[in-house]
Amino acid sequence: MTSKLCNKCGLSTSVYYRQYSGEYLCKKCFVLSIESKTSKTISKFSMIKHDDRVAVGVSGGKDSLALLFILKKIFEKKKRTGLVAVTIDEGIHGYRDESLDIVKEFCSKINVENRIFSYGDFFDLTMDQAIISRPSEKISSCSICGTFRRRALDLAAQDVGANVLATAHNLDDHLQSFLINLLSGDIERISWIHPTSIQYGSNSLKKIKPFIEIYEQEIVFYALQLDIPFQTETCPYANESIRSEIREFLNNLERTSSGIKYNLYASSLKVSSRLKSSNHMLKSTCILCNQDSSGDICSVCTNLKILKNH
């Protein structure tokens, strides 16, 4: 902890040193900086329009609760309604219960509607069942869960009548996905990570990531400063070892060359938008579930087939 004065207001003692800008910030100025950066990202990529109804994917983790809190503030300032929190219950015994309570309590405190949807309702399969049914441990639990969660959030947003789905992916999440796709040769996916609002054909749902330009550690610090509660329990099936290694690697680089994450972010946008403009892959509709798909059968239906037939 430092006893330096805040560089922004010059009045209060700083509580945070922002390495990439060299600024010392007091609590108030730090909190404001995160909120105004989120607002700027929203305008920069035209994420939310005046009459949009926005569903926020809220898991109970620090990022999603902080995002809901900031969006609520922005909506209130503009005297707008149309914000609803959607929570997905994956059906992981003993893990999800804590966060469902945290989300419920937090939403009622800040007066935002909270709706809970489960894998069981949407797919007739819980994550606990999926883990038992997978034919081989080589099918990673995180990739099964990720595929289901993306679809569940789409369906939940449609169910609550939203045309925008906001998720709390931060700068670090974005960079990890970018590098994972590069490392696995999955170039196609890189064109999807661009923060420009994406409109999907059949359901017209716009997906936005208002935290995409904010470091994960700053969101944690923001949540701590404002006493935003969050789930501490980690998922019992988590096995994303490559993601954790890349996180460590980028954090180490950032420590010695601060700002390097922003450079990589800028590169990822350039690569992604070039791929997007040259991407002629036509999106089609899955013949089984009627949702958007890159082939005849979507990844959700493919997974369900493997897991249910086993």
**SS3 of residue 187 by DSSP:** helix
**How far does CA 294 lie from the centroid of its chain?**
22
Asked if 289 touches Zn ion (CB under 5 A), the answer is yes
Determine if 287 is a binding residue for Zn ion (CB under 5 A). Answer: no
Contact pattern from residue 248 through residue 277 relative to Zn ion, giving x for each residue in contact according to CB under 5 A and a dash for the rest: ------------------------------
Size of the site for Zn ion (CB under 5 A): 11
DSSP structure class, residue 276 = H
Does residue 298 belong to the site contacting Zn ion (CB under 5 A)?
A: yes
Would you say 198 and 166 are in contact if contact means Cβ atoms under 8 Å apart?
Answer: no
> Which conformational region is residue 91 in: left (phi greater than 0), alpha (psi within -120 to 50 degrees), or beta?
left
Residue span binding Zn ion (CB under 5 A) among the ranges 169-177, 220-228, 233-241, 283-291: 283-291
CB count in 10 Å sphere of residue 305: 12
Question: Looking only at Cα atoms, what is the longest distance across the chain?
Answer: 65
Query: Residue 236 or 295: which CB sits closer to Zn ion?
Result: 295
Which of 15, 26, 54, 55: binder of Zn ion (CB under 5 A)?
26
Choose between 109 and 308: whose C-beta lies nearer to Zn ion: 308
Using alpha carbons, list the distances in angstroms from residue 167 to 145, 182, 215: 16, 22, 15
- From start to end of 9-82, where are the E strands? 16-18, 23-25, 54-57
- Cα–Cα dist 29/101, whole Å: 31
Q: How far is the CB of 13 from Zn ion (least distance, A)?
A: 9
182 binding Zn ion? (CB under 5 A):
no
Tokens in use for 73?
């503030």
15, 16, 24, 29: which one binds Zn ion (CB under 5 A):
29
Q: How far is the CB of 216 from Zn ion (least distance, A)?
A: 23
Angle CA(151)–CA(95)–CA(54) in degrees, nearest 5? 40
Helices (H) and strands (E) in the chain, counts: 12, 10
Q: Report, in Å, the least distance between residue 69 CB and Zn ion.
A: 20
Nearest CB to Zn ion, comparing residues 151 and 261: 151
Q: Is 110 in the site for Zn ion (CB under 5 A)?
A: no
Among 5, 74, 110, 288, binds Zn ion (CB under 5 A): 288
Q: Which of 301, 303, 304, 307 binds Zn ion (CB under 5 A)?
A: 301
Among 34, 208, 286, 304, binds Zn ion (CB under 5 A): 286
* List of residues contacting Zn ion (CB under 5 A): 6, 8-9, 12, 26, 29, 286, 288-289, 298, 301
